[in-house]
């Protein structure tokens, strides 16, 4: 039997798992979702759900992975025959996300090269609109982004993923702080800070407002922590028994939250300083930061470094998504790593092309009133990931049983497990109930 890959150290795993968590979800998505969901209130809901939903599910996924040492589908099947569908949902979710994630990864590459060849971007909003709605260019950048990620995953887990994450993550954190400091010195920037740090209750006019914010916050928790789709099962399956799962499940959300808040600090105050719209939606990052770089000394070079770091963040997340899909084909269908990555890659490249075109030429083709691009986002964040998270809780709480999970987490008694009772309550009752309530109210 071929020996299964393993992370070279717990730090390597942490960096890879944090690398999967920290990505476009934090830098591109979080600020714009905060922008369209009334700022401070959303962040409050987000932090509460991060602690009560995100962390216990993160622990559950890692424990399932390390215990079974299998890909997401076979891992769930091993715990209970017939439950492979939970992992299957993950493989489907990973594929769905990749189709649009790679398109945005392509936008990042485009901005990186734009800054390499020119000193600044004139009229950023119009520039972004023209670019993202055009036919050829976004598609080419999407394909380049996809090929880079696929090539890295073909090299295997410790060879590629771990090495990149160890270097770029600390750099990214430092760099966003530098940008944030500059942004906060702009006139009117403090209003932007207030917008997302101080919850404004007058933004809530009805119960449906509350549920709408909760639904977005829940989707964002799952998306940002890479939950509900087997990423952490897969990464956990390469984890050694000398690693402390409970500690890891505190560090990852904490680091992820810090980066997301820093991204808001770099973007939202600038939105107010330059009199832009916080509700601009998915173009917010690309519409706003060019103004900031234009106002900074050495702006062009800072922009190049920034987009390079965002690119790395996107790559380390995208490769964790490809890993979910390919590890299934490698373990279960006995495909070679190369074949598994190439075939899944061709699939998401093709659908990604249509998703990219759906922002411009094909925007008249809609699904329930949404473009293909938006439909993929809704399908992954609001449907597949929460359902996956729900079943993970049921699987761990009622079938595998939390007692066995704690056994795995403690590495056979090596580590002490804290808050067992609270965790059991969260996994068996709170998290599944919360997911169902938010889910059902969103439908009505
Ligand atoms: N968490 C990643 C991000 O924030 C996206 C992702 C989702 C990665 C699900 C893996 C699984 O960008």
Residue 148 CB: number of other CB atoms within 10 A? 17
5, part of any domain? no
Residues linked to residue 367 through DSSP beta bridges, in sequence order: 370
Burial class (CB in 10 A: 0-12, 13-18, 19+), 36: middle
Q: How far is the CA of 227 from the centre of ligand 1 (A)?
A: 8
State the pTM of this model.
Answer: 0.92
Which range has the worst mean pLDDT, 15-19, 106-110, 140-144, 294-298?
Answer: 15-19
Q: What is the mean pLDDT of residues 183-204?
A: 92
Q: How far is the CA of 97 from the centre of ligand 1 (A)?
A: 8
Contacts of 436 by beta carbon, 8 Å cutoff, 6+ apart? 390
Q: Quote the domain boundaries for residue 141.
A: 10-443
Number of domain units in the chain: 1
C-alpha span between 426 and 405 (Å, rounded): 14
Task: Give the DSSP letter string of 105-128.
Answer: HHHHHHHHHHHHHSS--SSHHHHH
Q: How far is the CA of 25 from the centre of ligand 1 (A)?
A: 6
The best mutation among 28, 107, 226, 316 to test binding of ligand 1, ranked by most ligand atoms within 8 Å of the C-beta, falls on 226
C-alpha span between 248 and 226 (Å, rounded): 14
235, part of any domain? yes
pLDDT digits (tens, 9 = 90+) for 44-64: 999 999 999 999 999 999 999
DSSP state of 203: G
197, part of any domain? yes
CATH number for the domain that contains residue 402: 1.10.4160
pLDDT digits (tens, 9 = 90+) for 61-107: 999 999 999 888 999 999 999 999 998 899 999 999 999 999 999 99
Position 34 pLDDT exceeds 50: yes
Q: How far is the CA of 191 from the centre of ligand 1 (A)?
A: 30
pLDDT over 90, % of the chain: 70
21, part of any domain? yes
In short, whether 68's Cβ falls inside 6 Å of ligand 1 is no
206, part of any domain? yes
The best mutation among 228, 321, 323 to test binding of ligand 1, ranked by most ligand atoms within 8 Å of the C-beta, falls on 321
In short, whether 389's Cβ falls inside 6 Å of ligand 1 is no
In short, whether 317's Cβ falls inside 6 Å of ligand 1 is yes
In short, whether 229's Cβ falls inside 6 Å of ligand 1 is yes
**b/e string for 197-233 if b means 16 or more Cβ within 10 A?**
beeeeeeeeeeeeebbbbbbbbbbbbbbbbbbbbbbb
Q: Which atom of ligand 1 is nearest to the CA of 225?
A: 1
Q: Which of 437, 77, 89 is nearest to 230 (CA)?
A: 89
C-beta separation of 355 from 103 below 8 A:
yes
In short, whether 102's Cβ falls inside 6 Å of ligand 1 is no
Q: What is the pLDDT of residue 235?
A: 85
């Amino acid at each position: 039997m071929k020996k299964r890959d393993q992370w070279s150290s717990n730090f390597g795993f942490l960096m890879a798992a944090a690398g999967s968590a920290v990505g476009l979800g934090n830098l591109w998505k979080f600020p714009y979702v905060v922008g369209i969901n009334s700022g401070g209130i959303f962040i409050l809901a987000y932090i509460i759900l991060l602690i009560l939903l995100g962390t216990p599910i993160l622990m559950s996924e890692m424990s399932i992975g390390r215990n079974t040492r299998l890909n997401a589908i076979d891992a769930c099947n091993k715990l209970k025959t017939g439950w492979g569908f939970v992992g299957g949902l993950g493989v489907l979710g990973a594929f769905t996300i990749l189709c649009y994630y790679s398109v945005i990864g392509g936008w990042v590459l485009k901005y990186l090269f734009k800054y390499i060849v020119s000193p600044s971007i004139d009229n950023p909003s119009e520039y972004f609109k023209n670019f993202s709605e055009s036919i050829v260019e976004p598609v080419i950048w999407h394909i380049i982004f996809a090929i880079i990620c696929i090539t890295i995953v073909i090299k295997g887990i410790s060879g590629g993923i771990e090495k990149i994450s160890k270097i770029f993550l600390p750099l990214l954190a430092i760099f966003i702080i530098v940008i944030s400091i500059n942004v906060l010195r702009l006139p009117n920037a403090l209003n932007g800070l207030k917008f997302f740090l101080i919850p404004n209750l007058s933004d809530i006019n009805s119960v449906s407002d509350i549920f709408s914010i909760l639904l977005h916050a829940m989707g964002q928790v799952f998306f940002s922590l890479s939950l509900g789709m087997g990423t952490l099962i897969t990464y956990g399956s390469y984890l050694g028994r000398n690693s402390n799962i409970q500690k890891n499940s505190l560090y990852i959300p904490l680091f992820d939250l810090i980066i997301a808040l820093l991204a808001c600090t770099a973007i939202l105050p600038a939105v107010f300083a330059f009199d832009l719209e916080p509700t601009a939606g998915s173009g917010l990052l690309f519409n706003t930061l060019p103004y900031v770089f234009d106002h900074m000394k050495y702006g062009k070079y800072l922009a190049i470094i920034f987009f390079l770091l965002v690119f790395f963040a996107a790559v380390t997340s995208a490769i964790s998504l490809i890993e979910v899909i390919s590890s299934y084909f490698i373990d279960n269908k006995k495909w070679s790593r190369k074949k598994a990555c190439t075939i899944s890659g061709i699939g998401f490249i093709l659908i990604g092309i249509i998703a990219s075109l759906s922002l411009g030429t094909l925007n008249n083709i809609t699904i329930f009133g949404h473009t293909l691009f938006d439909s993929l986002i809704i399908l992954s964040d609001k449907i597949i990931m929460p359902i996956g998270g729900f079943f993970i809780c049921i699987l761990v709480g009622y079938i595998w049983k939390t007692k066995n999970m704690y056994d795995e987490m403690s590495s056979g008694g090596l580590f002490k497990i804290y808050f067992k009772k609270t965790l059991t309550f969260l996994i068996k009752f709170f998290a599944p109930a919360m997911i169902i309530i938010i889910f059902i109210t969103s439908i009505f």
